[in-house]
Amino acid sequence: MFSRVKIKELLANYTIGQEVTVMGWVRTFRNNQFIALNDGSVLTNLQVVVDFENTDPELLKKITTGAAIKAVGEVIASQGKGQAIEVKARLVEVLGVCDPEVYPLQPKKHSLEFLREIAHLRFRTNTFSAVFRVRHHLAMAIHQFFHEKGFVYMHSPIVTGSDAEGAGEMFRVTTLPLDKLPKTESGDIDFKKDFFGKSTNLTVSGQLEAELAALALSEVYTFGPTFRAENSNTSRHLAEFWMIEPEVAFADLKDNMDLAEGLLKYCLNHVMEFCKEDLEFLETRLLEEEKQKPQNERSDMALRDKLRFCLSNPFQRLTYTEAIDILKNSTPNKKGKFQYPIEAWGADLQSEHERYLVEKHFGKPVILTDYPKQIKAFYMRLNEDNNTVRAMDILFPGIGEIVGGSQREERLDVLMARMEEMHIPLEEMQWFLDTRRFGTCPHAGFGLGFERLVLFVTGMTNIRDVIPFPRFPGSAEF
């Protein structure tokens, strides 16, 4: 009963006169005759023509927007414009009705905010089906890129007993009864009674575990969900997001930058090749959206031109110190236009500074390296100046930071000194330090925020619209 041809396959490969069975959801039904049918395999709807004079009126009434149907009929050349073929149905069966009186999705434009509230249904719109097909292709491109290079895909744990970034922004995992927490003699919560016999959290990053694997398998990557309980209510932050973290032994910062730039370009190339129709649609969507904005807030390039531009230009590489000089002397800084004025070396860069460098000063993706050690994590390799670390951030137009990484501190004594300085409990991290005790070697890695990549490629403007069910402060719906 369910053998069918997908609309994508049919449109790509058909013979006039062949009989086909198609199934999908009705987008519109015009003149009791023309069904625009979509099965999600492709953006384009298939036109199914109903012989309404010879069809039961009760059945016709059930063909409404949102209904699931099966149609069997002959492939014919289309009379109408806009499509090469259509299916002349000899049989239509309604698999699932959809009451148009209560169905929230009408065949009209809905705002992205409204669709976010009905995220369980938004897959059925052109915009979201396109976004999630592109998201899929990006994920496949990432696996393909690393697989072709001989990396091992490593599954890092989701529940962890360690805090990789040393930041207090984790979600606790516990089965202890919240209304009567067991206490130790000194009055603290007794985590020995908890499920794992210790305090545990959802991971913020798979990096530390990836380092352990890299120091044996030499080239690994993780690609999994990560969780941050930071209270960032922005269009660039999620509390649950997916991160790609490669870790490479016998590699330095230059190798790391080359790998990251190579990965990003591979992904852009891949979607340009495999998501043509969806990207064209998303480009038009973005143009329409930007018409509502004042001229100076619109992008100066169409979506696909922007992707092509990033593909064909080397990313600009410079040090944090050089960037600070540029920012200090920039017009917005001198005119007091930055919300956080750049006064001295050592300042953490805000997104307004990152965007100035990328969008105004260089006009292309930028890789900043060698940040002050004070504003970066403990595991980054200390430079000879004792002041900066071998960090790198990749900044993208409209996005800001898309990648964060570094060469790792492989020297046991330097690493332990840094950890002490930063009050990281050494006792709990012996397993990590063992890599530096037993056959340590130079190595490097980075984290690519998957949703930020999807955001960039699709031209969507809010990160909540590129993950199926976004989690952010105050919201964990569905």
Work out whether 449 is an interface residue with Mg ion (CB under 5 A).
no
* 398 torsion bin: left (phi>0), alpha (psi -120 to 50), beta (else): left
Work out whether 201 is an interface residue with ligand 4AD (CB under 6 A).
no
CA 48 – CA 110 distance, rounded (Å): 25
Q: Dig out the tokens for 358 from the structure.
A: 């990328």
Work out whether 207 is an interface residue with ligand 4AD (CB under 6 A).
yes
Pick from Mg ion, ligand 4AD, none: which does 400 bind, CB < 5 to 8 A by kind?
A: none
Contact with ligand 4AD (CB under 6 A): which of 22, 249, 342, 403? 403
Work out whether 401 is an interface residue with ligand 4AD (CB under 6 A).
yes
Near ligand 4AD in 164-193, by CB under 6 A: 164-165
Kindly indicate which of the ranges 55-63, 257-265, 396-404, 469-477 contains the residues binding Mg ion, using the contact rule CB under 5 A: 396-404
Kindly state the smallest distance separating residue 455's Cβ from ligand 4AD, in Å.
Answer: 9
The candidate with the shortest Cα–Cα distance to 369, out of 444, 478, 437, is 444
Contact 331, 286 (CB under 8 A): no
Work out whether 405 is an interface residue with Mg ion (CB under 5 A).
no
Contact with ligand 4AD (CB under 6 A): which of 173, 238, 253, 275? 238
CA 95 – CA 281 distance, rounded (Å): 29
Work out whether 432 is an interface residue with ligand 4AD (CB under 6 A).
no
CA 466 – CA 473 distance, rounded (Å): 17
CA–CA distance from 406 to each of 60, 245, 373, 390, 434 (Å)? 62, 11, 12, 6, 20
Work out whether 352 is an interface residue with ligand 4AD (CB under 6 A).
no
Work out whether 440 is an interface residue with ligand 4AD (CB under 6 A).
no
Kindly indicate which of the ranges 329-337, 339-347, 361-369, 404-412 contains the residues binding Mg ion, using the contact rule CB under 5 A: 404-412
CA 261 – CA 361 distance, rounded (Å): 20
Contact 220, 151 (CB under 8 A): yes
Nearer to ligand 4AD, 245 or 261 (CB): 245
Pick from Mg ion, ligand 4AD, none: which does 64 bind, CB < 5 to 8 A by kind?
A: none
Kindly state the smallest distance separating residue 450's Cβ from ligand 4AD, in Å.
Answer: 8
* Bridge partner list, 94: 69
Contact 427, 413 (CB under 8 A): no
Work out whether 452 is an interface residue with ligand 4AD (CB under 6 A).
yes
Kindly indicate which of the ranges 2-10, 73-81, 349-357, 444-452 contains the residues binding ligand 4AD, using the contact rule CB under 6 A: 444-452
Kindly indicate which of the ranges 151-159, 184-192, 299-307, 399-407 contains the residues binding ligand 4AD, using the contact rule CB under 6 A: 399-407
Kindly indicate which of the ranges 43-51, 235-243, 280-288, 414-422 contains the residues binding ligand 4AD, using the contact rule CB under 6 A: 235-243
Work out whether 400 is an interface residue with ligand 4AD (CB under 6 A).
no
Kindly indicate which of the ranges 81-89, 233-241, 359-367, 434-442 contains the residues binding ligand 4AD, using the contact rule CB under 6 A: 233-241
